[in-house]
Structure 1
Amino acid sequence: MLTIIDKYILKRYLATFSAMLLMFIPIGIIIDVSEKINFMIENKIPFFDIAVYYYNFTIYFANNLFPIFLFLSIIWFTSKLANNTEIIAILSSGISFTRFLRPFIIGASIVSLFVLFLGFSIVPAANEGFNNFRYTYLKTGGKELMRGDNTDVYRQISSNEFLYVNSFNTESKVAFNFVLEKFDKEKLVSKITASRIKWNPKDSTYTMYDYSKRTVGEFGDKIEKASEKNAKFSFELEDLTPVVYIAETLSLNKLYRFIDKEKKRGSSNINVYLVVLYKKYSVPVSAFILTVIAVSVSSMKRRGGMGMNLTIGIAVAFGFVFFDKIFGTLAEKSTFSPLIAVWFPNIVFGILAIFLLRNAKR
């Protein structure tokens, strides 16, 4: 049962966090518009596309920076409580510091559930729209950059089939120097080659040029050749070079299926996809850790007042973001475990939260 004090603190928690979002998101939009307005006018980008972009930008911006907004909002209103000696009055009434934290934890739970819901459903679609706009309109050669490395692509497409193409044109959906090998254990069963292969979207078939198929037999190999041949395969050419941000655009169930498929194919980008998956769970947890740190830091009345608390808060918040970005990039670019990389900032700042909480209780 929530008391009057619980409701008062919880209301301030959610209201200040909402106000922080409403204050900084327009600033982010204004800065982004000022950087891109000339380019948008010169290239005559449709107004509707721009409006959709800034809708997606709002969700993208808020989702990525919500830990900082949450942390600073708690520092702000908790410092005001401390400066007005409200916290001293609350604790003097016999309420322990742990009990004082309860409405903050409830607030963190509400925010975490909301962020979790956004991350599973709304954020993926917003990420797709945001990145599509950037690569379509704002990056030179964007449509090529949005694809991964599309040369010398070698992938395992099933437990016994391996595919290779020398290069893949994303516009024409044509792959060159196509090879498809099928094995039975370690023994080659068949090998299909073609100088190029083209995807036909109308009937979901492929046209192979300079087609050749070798079927390995017990008493001799069978060779089949044709200048042009249509066939159906279980893969799509676009699967060879998925967009670099594809994991960010998938809902939770689709992301799990995509990662499972990429693991079977031996994708070199698997760590990038795992970082995206693990962050869906780690970011909401950070709300609890940053809440405890913020309350512990700002609950004491300091000589520097609210300014000192905000200075400490900004340093801690950007330290958290720094750790998050560094270890995320480390996991994506090396063999470092994505699970450890994603959760390491929460572990480090979780230990800091415990230390600060004990110190605040004293």
Structure 2
Amino acid sequence: MLFRIDKYIIKAFIPTFFLCMFAICGIYIVVDALQKLDDLIELGSKAFLLILYYYAFMVPVILAQLFPAITLIAVSLVLVRFAKNNEILAMQVAGICLYRILLPIFILSVMMSFAAVANQEVVIPRYAEKLKRVERSTFEEYEKSNILVEDKVNRMLLRAWTFNIADGKIESVFVIGRNENNRKKFTISAKEGKWTGNKWLLFDAVRHNYDESGKWIAPSQQMKEYFLETTLTPEQLSKVEVNATLKSFNELRDLC
């Protein structure tokens, strides 16, 4: 049952939340557009329509990335306003504890979190390919980020935070290898890697091995250089269609 105080707090929080959402997303879009200014100038008269089309698909992604920050800022602004107007003090004098004051905001934030999960699991994967297609046709890509690709031949999953297409370098590399029973066989983490022409050479690599039951076998192996046995090539990494952040949990689980 909603009390009058709950309705008052909710009415104060919801407009503030949406105001923060529009403001922060707007700042993100402006900064991102400025970074792509050279590409936009080359597009000429088509730039405006392409930008509208591109950022229409980007909005769900931006919301998924910035939702925690938006919620935190909105809650902070509401509480600051209440404190400035001595409303929190008045509520406490009336016998309402601080936790009870925050309860409607907490419940509303949880409900919005479910909406954010639905956005990540349903909306973003649905339009991920369209977004990638628009991005590829609109902006030239010299570097890809957050790559997740599978080597089915070697039962291996490779994730790289960045991939420089021109130099053939990957950074923040993590590899999971699996055995025939689909259990974890080994993991490799490396600071960076470079394509040598026929293999990936990883630097500052750490390898952990696991037995058939998936239990870790000590000790871990630390290597300054490590050649990764894989069929993955820079061409395959550059052809990755969908960024890992645009995949749903089920899609990521299927890869693993």
Q: Does the pair score TM above 0.5?
A: yes
Which residue does 2:154 correspond to in 1? 156
**Superposition pairs for residues 209-228 of structure 1, below 5 Å?**
none
**Superposition pairs for residues 144-293 of structure 1, below 5 Å?**
155-156=153-154, 241=237, 243=240, 245-257=242-254, 259=255, 263=256
- Is 1:12 matched with 2:9? no
SS of alignment partner, residue 101 of structure 1 = helix
Q: Give how far 1:39 is off.
A: 1.9
Q: Is the 8 A contact 2:148 2:244 kept in 1?
A: no
SS of alignment partner, residue 153 of structure 2 = strand
Return the alpha-carbon distance in structure 2 between the equivalents of residues 121 and 30 of structure 1.
Answer: 26
Q: Is the 8 A contact 1:146 1:243 kept in 2?
A: no
Return the alpha-carbon distance in structure 2 between the equivalents of residues 62 and 146 of structure 1.
Answer: 18
Distance 1:146 1:67, change over 3 A: closer
Which residue does 2:41 correspond to in 1? 41
Which residue does 2:121 correspond to in 1? 120
Q: Give how far 1:131 is off.
A: 4.3
Distance 1:126 1:26, change over 3 A: farther
Q: Is the 8 A contact 1:146 1:244 kept in 2?
A: no
Alignment length (residue pairs) = 177
Return the alpha-carbon distance in structure 1 between the equivalents of residues 53 and 252 of structure 2.
Answer: 24
CA deviations over 1:298-325 (Å, ceiling 9, x no partner): xxxxxxxxxxxxxxxxxxxxxxxxxxxx
Residue type of the partner of 2:24?
F
Residue type of the partner of 1:10?
I
Q: Is the 8 A contact 2:50 2:138 kept in 1?
A: no
Q: Alpha carbon RMSD of aligned pairs, Å?
A: 3.5
Q: Is the 8 A contact 2:17 2:70 kept in 1?
A: yes
Residue type of the partner of 1:79?
V
Distance 1:2 1:244, change over 3 A: same
Q: Is the 8 A contact 1:57 1:126 kept in 2?
A: no
Q: Is the 8 A contact 1:10 1:106 kept in 2?
A: no
TM-score, normalised to structure 1's length?
0.42
Return the alpha-carbon distance in structure 1 between the equivalents of residues 72 and 63 of structure 2.
Answer: 13
Return the alpha-carbon distance in structure 2 between the equivalents of residues 87 and 93 of structure 1.
Answer: 10
Q: Is the 8 A contact 1:147 1:243 kept in 2?
A: no
Return the alpha-carbon distance in structure 1 between the equivalents of residues 80 and 142 of structure 2.
Answer: 49
Distance 1:149 1:81, change over 3 A: closer
Gaps of 5+ in 2: 157-179, 181-235
TM-score, normalised to structure 2's length?
0.57
Which residue does 2:25 correspond to in 1? 25
Q: Is the 8 A contact 2:21 2:70 kept in 1?
A: yes
Larger mean CA deviation between 8-17 and 47-56 belongs to 47-56
Return the alpha-carbon distance in structure 2 between the equivalents of residues 147 and 87 of structure 1.
Answer: 44
Distance 1:103 1:147, change over 3 A: closer
Asked which structure has the greater CA Rg, the reply is: 1
Residue type of the partner of 2:69?
I
Q: Which structure carries more relative contact order (alpha carbon 8 Å, separation 6+)?
A: 1
Percent identical: 24
Residue type of the partner of 1:156?
N
Q: Give how far 1:63 is off.
A: 1.8
Instruction: Give the structure with the higher percent strand.
Output: 2
Q: Is the 8 A contact 2:146 2:245 kept in 1?
A: no
Distance 1:149 1:255, change over 3 A: closer
